[in-house]
Amino acid sequence: MKLGFGIVIASLLLISCRPESEQQTAASPSPDVAISATPTALAWKLPDPASADATVRYGQELVARTAHYLGPDQADPALRYGGNRLNCKSCHLQAGQQPHSLGFVGITARFPQYRGRENRQISLAERVNGCFERSLAGRALPLESREMQAIVAYMQWLSQDYPAGSKVEGQGLPEIELPERAADPIKGKQVFVQHCASCHQPGGLGLAAVPRSEGYAFPPLWGPDSFNTGAGMHRLITAARYIKANMPLGQPVLSAEQAFDVAAYINSQPRPVKASLELDFPDRSRKPVDAPFPPWDDKFSAQQHKYGPFKPMLAARQGQSKP
């Protein structure tokens, strides 16, 4: 299965769509992943490629070939902002131009945006840096840098036909039915072997591109060159929604339970650890139930926050029952 967060991953992961101030529900449990369509959503529309100027084209290059320009193999040490060899397009498929895969079309209409992770409004550039520090396991780009300006310009170009506050059909990730049971990493391994290993390799460490500085043809799903524990893709509901909508690449066929199980298997594997995660979501009431790191504001176990079942947690948060 080309859980291929790209030909993915920020973890990436610009998993930034729906304001985290919105209430979680069983159908839409992760407040920083947008609903993919509503009755008032505008159609997904790509601009004419001929209208892209040099800055926009450079931004698209940076999204598509992040490892080449900003990865650990970059000749100029000052430009080594990515801590791994993933590309932005590893998660944001077709460099953010594909719907239902965390695309960038219309994204500027939603920023500045309140984010529960920071508990304040943030800019689009700050959100991009969240991916650099988490999905790319690296460091933040200077906001005034040529690279940041180009990435934001590319997103603005993709969003030029959408007014502020508008929703776009295909934004974010489709909803997914939450299982009644906890996700099962053992069953997930079976799904991985059957649907994922042919692309991401049996060891889950991806298929390297040639030359190596280009990153991966199919990215690693765990290991030292994957997203870190602070990335959105390390949250089970987020990962399952992405997998269900997009994997295997080009022919998504998994059931919701299979998506949850294989996401549990992937996220049970070793990966870089993000420091100071206890500082995320300072308002604990806004912390997603699938955030697998403490502290939490409930009495559910760490195991349940990691693997579910999530429906009782959401019901308790909404005051319908007690943990």
What pLDDT, on the 0 to 100 scale, is given for residue 24? 39
Q: Are residues 299 and 191 in the same domain?
A: yes
Confidence of residue 319 (pLDDT cuts 50, 70, 90): confident
Q: Are residues 131 and 232 in the same domain?
A: no
Residue 9, in any domain of the structure: no
Q: Number of folded domains in the chain?
A: 2
Residue 29, in any domain of the structure: no
CA 237, CA 243: separation in Å to the nearest integer? 10
Q: Are residues 135 and 212 in the same domain?
A: no
Residue 249, in any domain of the structure: yes
Q: Are strands 207-208 and 120-122 parallel, antiparallel or unpaired?
A: unpaired
Please list, residue by residue across 111-135, b when 16 or more beta carbons sit within 10 angstroms of its beta carbon and e when fewer do. bebebbbbeeebebbbbbbbbbbbb
Give the angle 86-88-93 at the CA atoms, nearest 5°. 110
Residue 206, in any domain of the structure: yes
Confidence of residue 27 (pLDDT cuts 50, 70, 90): very low
The CATH number of the domain holding residue 225 is: 1.10.760.10
Confidence of residue 40 (pLDDT cuts 50, 70, 90): confident
Model pTM score: 0.87
Q: Are residues 141 and 219 in the same domain?
A: no
Among the candidates 119, 141, 158, a domain finishes at: 158
The residue range of the domain holding 126 is 49-158
Selected residue with higher pLDDT from 7 and 223: 223
Q: Are residues 59 and 146 in the same domain?
A: yes
Q: Are residues 194 and 298 in the same domain?
A: yes
Residue pair 306/229 in contact (Cβ under 8 Å)? The answer is no
Residue 43, in any domain of the structure: no
